[in-house]
Structure formats: structure tokens, C-alpha cells
Structure 1
């Protein structure tokens, strides 16, 4: 065998050994205990997010917008009068759509006539963050009295969820260790060292109060009672543990 062939054969054997070592790595799910856990923490929220707006109609686009713009300004005034900071007030929706009317069906073989524009609908909305939950109910009442005729709902959350998130992470980690030990004990093996941790972050939705579908508000309705309840903060982990026999 020539020197060149000997070197080539040695290189191929080295690559084969390296590939085998990678396949046999303890990180491979087939050779470890793979655990997925989730930790949950329930806490009282400290902020509320209110979405309210104004819907106006007119024969022309200009007429619909002409009614909507001053109506929205009254909502903004009501929010500011409630002591809400400018940074917590945001315009979240602006739309102008034609209102279509379908003509009656003509008798006979005549083709149907196309729908015609019968007017326009202007819709604007505000998103308000309330940091004093005691103000949430009175603010909704104030918005209705100021002319809000549409509300998309109210949700609750935390201004800073880092501490609650860390507590949920701790629960997920404790559950991962306990579950790995449970599986190992049932199968007659021992849990070795932890070789992999992956945190699967998922956005924690705020707790919604009431029907989140759009509904029209009636002026003069009974005062709104807002109960924040509790929200759930979650953390998910994927861990891989060595198996010791």
C-alpha cells in the first residue's frame, strides 16, 4: 500500500470515528431523559388596558370623518381629565369604510345590479393603560358619557412581570428535576447530570374581563364594576439529563 493510500485510509477512519462519537453524544434525545415542564404563578394584576372608540356614519366620507374627529377629541379629553399620563394613551384604530347597499333582485333574465355605496362609516379607537385599577371603572363610565359608542374590552397585566416570571421559571425547573427522577426510578436507572436547558418563551396573555368581542355602549348605562381577579404567568422548559445505570 502506498503512503498516499495509507494517509487517505487513516483520514477516512478518523472521520468515521468522529461521526460515531457525535451520534453517541449524550445530548442526543435517544440517550438521555428529555423533560418538558411548565411553571405557573398566579398574581394580582397592577395595570388595566381599556380599548374604546367612536363609530360615526355619514352620506359622504367627509361627513363621516367630520363627525368622528371631534367625537374622538372628547374621549381624549375625558382620559386626560382622569389623570392618565400621555404615554399611556394611544390611538389604536383609524378606519373609513363604505357602507354598501345591495339593490333588489330584478325579475326576469336581467343580470343583477352591482351593490351601491349608501354612505360611509368612520371608526377610531383609543388604547388606554390604567395604572391605578381603582380608576378603571370610573374611566369607562367617563368614556361612555363623553361619547364612546364602541368598546373592544378590558384586559389586565403587570407593569413589570420579571419577578413573577422568575418565580414561574423556578417552578418549571423544580418540576423538571422531579419528573426526571420519577421516570428514571420507574425504569430502574439513575438521573445523571443536566446537559441541556432550553426555555420556550411564550407571551403571557393578559386576563380579559367580559366579552372581548366589539359591542356598542349605551350612554346612561349603570356604572361599570371592574374586578381584576388574578392573571397567570407561565414559563416552559425543555431539559435533557444523562442516564446513569
Structure 2
């Protein structure tokens, strides 16, 4: 009876040990077949052009005064007028954000003498988001007339880039498939299957374009603003398996 038990246990041990070996034998050919396959690793991109529907612009007030307190007070008064002008021009409060606030001493440098304090400079800048581009020029004009004397840059963008990105994705995949088909035919192969596909890039807002500071202007004048078009680009990478 003891011999039968030992024999059964030994047979079970052999069967258990055989499972990993059999599994390895079935997996190895599959892995090796991928290494033996002829593959193409390609990259392509797709682009779409679309008109922007929003813009951001940074503007502000910079003043100088003999004392720090006076510089800040003058700046605060003028900046309050600028923000009021923005709101009157139709810019919502949530679209107005302080982006820089600075107070710094100003010195006069003369040869062979220590620097002499001449006063203080205070600056306050806000970045505004304009969702109605027809109001952008009027908003800029209103701020300058209200006392803004700094305009640092403007950039255009999209409120929702999803549709433009999807169009660029479709163009990228078509370009990738065409390139893969060309390589396959040129090498005497055909596309067996797409093994993997990855995406890179996508919509990103262009960097701000510099805008020169403007002096106070007459109400009859208006700042022309043109949004042009934005290019939305998506890059893709694909791995194809080829066959004869």
C-alpha cells in the first residue's frame, strides 16, 4: 500500500513538472516567430488647419515715483481703471488673471560714484482670455485709453481642440498606412497586420507673438487684430508585420 502511494505521488510530481515545460514549448515558437518576421517600424504625421476662436494677451501698467508707497498707489489707481475698462469691453472677471506684480528700486549710475537711488518702479500685469475675437481689438484699445502702457504678447488658441485633433489623427493614420504600403510593395511584400500604433504630439497653443507698447489713442482709431489659422499636428508611430 505504501509503494502505491509513493508511486502515485511521483507520477503527480512528474505531471506537475511537465506543465511549465509544455507551456514554455508552446510559447517559445510564438515569440521566435515574431523575431523571424519581417517588420516595418514607421512614423508619419497628420495636420489640420483651423481658425482660432480664442486669444490670450498680457497687458499692464508700469509707473515710477519717488517713493515705493507712491509708486504702488499710482499703479493701483491706473490698474483699477484698466480692469474696469476690460469688464466694460465684455471681458468676464474669470478671464482676467494677475500674472505679474513687481516693485523695484531705480538707481542712477555715474562714473566713480556709488549708485544713487532715484525712485521706485511699480508694475502690474494681467493676462486676459478673450473668447470673442471680434472684441479683442476694442478691449486692447479700451485698456490703453484707461492707462495701460504695457502690452507684452498675444497668442491664439482653441476652446476645444478635440475636433481638430481627431482630423489630424485621421490624416496621420492615412499617411502612415500609405507609407507602409509603399515600403511593402517596394520590397516585394504585403502588409500582414498592424502590430502596434502609438501617438505623439497634438494640439499646443502657439507661443505669444510680441506686441509693442502703445500710447494713448483716439477713440476713432482701432487696433486691427487678425487671428489667421492654427496648425494642429499629430504624430504617429506604427509597427507592421509583412508577408510574402
TM-score in terms of structure 2 length: 0.80
CA distance in structure 1 between the partners assigned to 2:162 and 2:188 by the alignment = 39
Distance 1:18 1:119, change over 3 A: farther
How big is each residue's C-alpha offset from its partner over 1:177-220, in whole Å with a ceiling of 9 and x where there is no partner?
01111112112222221111111134522375xx516x322112
Pairs within 5 Å for 1:1-245 = 24=32, 26=34, 31-105=38-112, 113=114, 115-206=115-206, 211-212=209-210, 215-220=212-217, 222-245=221-244
SS at match of 1:67: helix
Structure whose alpha-carbon radius of gyration is higher: 2
How big is each residue's C-alpha offset from its partner over 1:54-99, in whole Å with a ceiling of 9 and x where there is no partner?
1111233222212111111111101110122222111111122232
Q: Which residue of 2 aligns with 1:6?
A: none
SS at match of 2:171: helix
**Runs of 5+ in structure 1 lacking a partner?**
1-10, 107-112
Query: More helix by proportion, 1 or 2?
Result: 2
Q: Which runs of 4+ in 1 moved over 3 A?
A: 17-22, 115-118
How big is each residue's C-alpha offset from its partner over 1:17-55, in whole Å with a ceiling of 9 and x where there is no partner?
979975x574x7x95211111111101111121211111
CA RMSD of aligned residues (A): 3.0
Aligned residue pairs, count: 226
**Runs of 5+ in structure 2 lacking a partner?**
1-19
